[in-house]
Structure 1
Amino acid sequence: MDTYVKTNEFTNPPNYAFDSHRLRKILRDSSKQPIVLVACGSFSPVTYLHLRMFEMAKDYVRQNTNFEIVGGYLSPVSDQYNKPGLLSAAHRVNICTLAAEETSSWLMIDPWEAFQNYQRTAVVLDHFDYEINTILGGVHTQDGEHRDVKIMLLAGSDLISTMSEPGVWAVEDLDHILGQYGTFIIERAGSSMDQATDNLARWRNNIHLIPQLIQNDVSSTKVRLFLRRGLSVRYLLPSAVVDYIEENDLYLDDGSNSEKEKGKGKDNGLGKREGDLAKGS
C-alpha cells in the first residue's frame, strides 16, 4: 500500500482568506480536546438538513466524548466536480454564507476548495489543519497553554457506505482521513451504518456514529426539482437562501433531467463524493 504524504504546501485561489471570525480561540474546559467540524459537499443549495447535522454533532460531542467544538465549517466542492445541478461556486459560497450567518453563531464557510481545481477530501482536511494549527497557531486554554485543534470530517451515512466499498476510495486516503482526523457520521434514511463500519473496523475508534432522532429526508436534489416545477421551498431552506435564489432566478433550469438526478452518483451533499475514488483522482 502506498503511504499518504501530508503536505503543508497549498495553492490558494485569488484573493483567498481563511475565515476564522467565529473560531473560538480559548477553550472553555482545559481537560477537553479542541476539535473543528468540516462538512464537504455540493450544497447546491444548502438545506436545513446540512445545517442540522452540525447541531446533532454538537449534542453528541457534549454527551459522549471528551472533545470541545471550537468551530464548524462548510466547504463547498469545486465547479470542476461537474455534478448535474451544481450551481456555480460563487453562488454556492454566497448561499452557504447567508445560511450560516442567518441560522448559526458558530458556523463558517471556507471557499478554498470551491474556487480551484478539484481537491480530494484528505487534502481539504490537511488544508484546514494547516490554516488552523500552523497559520493561526491553534487554540489556548484559559491559562494560556497551547493546544492543537483536531480536524474532523462531518458527513452523512451514505458517505461511510462508499468508504466501505472496495476500490471506491484509495486506501491511503481512507487511512489518512479516518486515522489521522476521524469523522462524525450522521444516520440518513436508507443507509445502513453497521455493515459499513464493520468493513472499516481498523478505524472504528475514530468513527463516531450519530443516530437520526427526527427523520428528515430533505435533499438538495428534491429542492432543485421543486424549484424547476415552480413550487415553494420556503421553510425547507433558510429564508435568506430562498430570497437569494428567487432574486437571482436560480435553479429554474439546472440542465438536469430525471435520469441524471437518479444517477447523481454517491455524492450525499453532506459528506463527500465518489470522486475521491482512485489514487490521485
Structure 2
Amino acid sequence: MATAVAGDFTNPPNYEFPHHRLATTLRDPSKTPLVLVACGSFSPVTYLHLRMFEMAKDYIRQNTDFEIVGGYLSPVSDMYRKVGLLSAQHRVTMCTLGAEDTSSWLMVDPWEAFQDYQRTAVVLDHFNYQINTVLGGAHTADGQHRNVRIMLLAGSDLISTMSEPGVWSYPDLDHILGRYGTFIVERAGSSMEQATDSLARWRHNIHLISQLIQNDVSSTKVRLFIRRGLSVRYLLPTNVVEYIEENGLYLEDSGSTPKIPEKEPAASGSGKDSSS
C-alpha cells in the first residue's frame, strides 16, 4: 500500500503534531514500537477513557512483543453528527486536562477536531505519516531505525458496530483492521467474542482485553447526571469536573447535531466510540 505524503492531508490553522511525550528510543531492541490511538467524541473525557490506555498497556506488556512509545486521544470534529457533542475547543481542552495533566505518556492530538469530518482510517494514516515519515519513527539504543506500529484503541461497543451491515465500508474496515489493527477493551453490555465473529479475517490484528474491574461509566451518563444536578466527581478527573462547572457545560440537553458533509456519509464508517 502506498505511503501517505504531506499532500494527502489538510491541517487546521497553526497545527503542530504533539510529540513531547513520544519516546524515540526503544528500551528493548527486540520489541516493536507501538503507538495507541483512541478516536472518540470525549464529551466529556472520563476515567474509563483514560483507564482503557492503562489496561491496554498491561495487556501489551504481558501478552505481546510490542513496546508502547506513546498514546493519543483524537477528539472528533464538530462536523461529526452526535447528540450532546460539545464544541471541539471545549473537548480538546478537557482531554488535555484529563490526559496530559494526569498521565506521564498520553497526549491529545487536535488534528481531527479542528477541521472537517475525517474517517478513522484517514486519522490513522495521519498518525502513521506524522510519526514515521515526519518524525522518522523510533530507534534502538545503538541507532537502528524502527517503524512505529500505529493501532486503534477502542471499546467493545465500537467493534460491535463494525459487525453491523452498512455501518462501516469494507475498504475502511480492511484499512483499519488489516493495515493497522486494534486493541479492544471490554465494555459493560457488549459481547466481545460475538462482536468479532464476522471480523474473523482480521482476527490476527484484533486483540481483546477483558475488564478485570467492571466500569460502565460513560460520557452519556455523565451528561445526564450533570443535567439532573447530580455530582460527577470521581467519575472524571477533578480538573475536568472543575472545567465543566466553571464553564456551565452540559446543563441543557442539546437536541441539534452538526451534519457530516455529504462527501463523507455516516455509513462510510465513523469509527467513533458510541458511548463517548
**1:170 maps to which residue?**
169
Q: Is the 8 A contact 2:167 2:269 kept in 1?
A: no
TM-score scaled by length of structure 1: 0.90
> Equivalents in 1 of 2:20, 2:35: separation in Å?
14
**2:51 maps to which residue?**
52
- 1:198 deviation in Å? 1.6
**1:100 maps to which residue?**
99
> Equivalents in 2 of 1:83, 1:280: separation in Å?
11
Name which of structure 1's ranges 157-166 and 61-70 shifts more when overlaid on structure 2: 157-166
**1:207 maps to which residue?**
206
**1:269 maps to which residue?**
none
**2:244 maps to which residue?**
245
Q: Is the 8 A contact 1:170 1:276 kept in 2?
A: no
**2:160 maps to which residue?**
161
> Equivalents in 1 of 2:115, 2:2: separation in Å?
21
**1:277 maps to which residue?**
267
**1:228 maps to which residue?**
227
AA aligned to 1:231 is L
1:1-281 paired onto structure 2 within 5 Å:
7-8=4-5, 9-256=8-255, 277-278=267-268
> Equivalents in 2 of 1:112, 1:68: separation in Å?
25
Q: Quickly say closer, same or farther: Cα 1:204–1:94, change in 2 above 3 A.
A: same
Q: Is the 8 A contact 2:100 2:108 kept in 1?
A: no
Q: Quickly say closer, same or farther: Cα 1:195–1:44, change in 2 above 3 A.
A: same
Q: Is the 8 A contact 2:44 2:94 kept in 1?
A: yes
AA aligned to 1:169 is W
Tell me the SS of whatever aligns to 2:95.
Answer: helix
Q: Is the 8 A contact 1:13 1:112 kept in 2?
A: yes
> Equivalents in 1 of 2:249, 2:243: separation in Å?
8
> Equivalents in 1 of 2:48, 2:171: separation in Å?
30
Q: What do the CA deviations read for 1:85-142 (whole angstroms, capped 9, x no partner)? A: 1110000000000111222100000000000110000000000000000000001001
Q: Mark the runs of 5 or more structure 2 residues left unpaired by the alignment.
A: 258-263, 272-276
Q: What do the CA deviations read for 1:131-170 (whole angstroms, capped 9, x no partner)? A: 0000000010011111110000000001111111222211
The share of aligned pairs that are identical, in percent, is 77
> Equivalents in 1 of 2:180, 2:126: separation in Å?
12
AA aligned to 2:222 is V
> Equivalents in 1 of 2:248, 2:70: separation in Å?
32
> Equivalents in 2 of 1:219, 1:129: separation in Å?
29
Tell me the SS of whatever aligns to 2:167.
Answer: coil
After superposing on structure 2, the runs of 4+ consecutive aligned residues of structure 1 that deviate more than 4 Å are none
Q: Is the 8 A contact 1:49 1:219 kept in 2?
A: yes
TM-score scaled by length of structure 2: 0.91
> Equivalents in 2 of 1:217, 1:280: separation in Å?
22
Aligned CA-pair RMSD: 2.0
Q: Number of residues paired by the alignment?
A: 263
Q: Quickly say closer, same or farther: Cα 1:111–1:279, change in 2 above 3 A.
A: closer
Q: Is the 8 A contact 1:121 1:276 kept in 2?
A: no
> Equivalents in 2 of 1:164, 1:235: separation in Å?
33
